[in-house]
Chain A
Amino acid sequence: MRPGSDALVLLLAGGIGSRLNILVGHRAKPAVPFGGIYRIIDFSLSNVMNSGLTRVGVLTQYKPLSLMRHIGTGEAWDFTGRTRGVKILPPRTGEKDSDWYQGTADAIRQNIDFIQANPSEQVLILSGDHIYQMDFAAMLEYHRHKKADITIGMMVVPKSQIHQFGAGIVDKENRIIDWEEKPEVPRTNLASMGIYVFDTAYLLRTLGRDKREIDFGMHIVPRAIERDRVFAYPFYGYWRDVGTIQSYWETNMDLIPDDSPISPEEWGIRPNPEAEGRPMDRAPARFISGCDVRSSMISAGSVIEGTVINSVLSPGVHVRRDAVVRDSVIFEDSFIGRGAVVDLAICDKRVRVGDGAIVGHGDDRDVPNHDFPGHLYTGITLVGKEAMVPAGIRIGRNCIVRPGCRPDDFQGRDVLATGESILER
């Protein structure tokens, strides 16, 4: 057995990620497409694979079907074999001591049987929500070297953002001596990435202690630092929580420059194209005479007749003649009609933008969405899965067009003003 390969991995993939709004209307956050051909969870799964770890449990809860189909047998990440594998662990209601997952620690507690059935020295607990590259083998080595009970992956973030995270104060040995969960007034800039290594025996003991401790950051860690060995494992690379529309969009845009901070292929991140179950393969992208494509990422199967600037296109996107796609993220098999403009928008799968329609119009980017002002306030317009945007319509900034929207839903309007939405009826 290779050194470091004996840890069991538990991947928390149950979060709703509700700030991603209609992008998580029918899928869990880890299953949200990212970077053209990936889903967010591919980054965590590939990091696990590239760290030489071979046994993974994926804890699902919220709308898991898309995620389960994506993970499949786990073959895409080399998790198949006699002693290798990825298992989906849904909550089991109705059993004694089992119910919906109440929090991170509770979710792990409900799967103690899985941990016991897969003997290990350490358990690595991750979330499937982040875009990053990390070598967990090195983190496990560090954990053993420090003889730690818990090791937490931590990174420096701007103080203005620390209120979103668990924050740790460390001594010069990197031992965590104080902890604040989502502090209003930060005393440190060292934030938890939600990546934990536990000694397995310690984890089992801790979880058995008090069932009211349902969250690692809120309950387990603060208690542990008082009397056990809890260390910070410093991480210095690129790491993004793509939990908001703005950060999701920014992180996609980070893929585009020549010297991009994200290099999925170099990082060894693996997608699972076969999970889509298409009867044929995506052919290479086609660039028709007269097209203009610059500073963009284009996936196979796309056909570009018009203009694409500073955008990320998933497979099978068709941009018709005289159409312009700018500063946008377009998911699989969307169709941008002739002369249409898509500007600063995220279009989910199989969206059809009618000829001459404008999605993302006007300079009033700072007028937030009326229904979800906390979700859309930077100008980004969202178009839901399989929505049909009628020809010629003008849609403003920070708008939401619901998944499956039909032209009738616009009731003959030729303008959807900034901040307005077509929501579920």
Chain B
Amino acid sequence: MKTIRMKQVTSFLLVALVMLLVAGCSQPAKVHKVGILQVSPALTIAEGPITEGMVELGYVEGENVEYVYKNAMGNMDDLNSFAAELLDQVDVLVTIGTPSAAAANKANEGKDVPIVFYLTSDAVKLGLVQSYSQPGGRATGVMTGSEDTAGKRLEILLKMNPDIKNVLAVYSTNPIMLLEQEKLREAAATLGLTLVEHQISSAEEAIAAYQSVQPGEVDAIHVPADVVVAAAEEAIAVLSVRDQIPNIYVGKKDTSVAAYGPDFKTAGPQVAALVDKILNGADPATLPVEIPKKFNLIINMNVVEQIGLTLSEDVLQIADVVIGAE
């Protein structure tokens, strides 16, 4: 009798111990696959803050998250096939730039993979979402609508040199660029500026457009956040130096005098937060579209000196970041 009782007690204790151990051991973490789709190398700078934001939220690459990067290098056909390819293998697809978002959204028909777009134009006008507060589909994100800040960029040019009259505005045939161009025209009219416009449809045309500018024809250059125009960065730099005129971009470049656009450091984590919510089961249809918390005006004094510009104090006062300042 005694031994049997001891056996029962012992086995009971063992079972309890095993149950505790089983409860204590967490299940192996799932490795989430997150795709990052880029249309061109122009915005690779925006990737870092997203993954850093993911780290802040507890995602360690190789441990519980895996990133699949695809960059179409400006080739629209590649962009479409990359979008379809990524959608087939990831849990969430992050698209950077308007063309990426549009391509992914189109390729997602029937696939229903959550998409988080970033650095896009107006998501409602693009048809990515039904409304900002209730996207209603498979896509949500952080939109930066460069068209909204176009006027602001003209204003900044004016602040750099109040004597500016003619602003060079090369734009592509991309529908979103047409929208931005329209905004630019409105702002120019308000500010009393004249736009010197050139519509192009290829990188070669873009370069040619900048090269064809006569000395003294324009007083400043507005560069849109367009993948085709971006290819003419060198031509723009040459023109700025030749005519000693300021240029302004959306995102900072090595040759940009000024850049006014979203602050990647704060907007990246916003994208990461949306990805995190989706990975935790949230439905993108109910995750409102956000706009970046912060926009930055970055002035590059090195470029300013290289060109030989004299900037007004006003613009330096309103700049968020001044590079190369003494």
Partners in one complex: no
B residues within 8 Å of A by Cβ? none
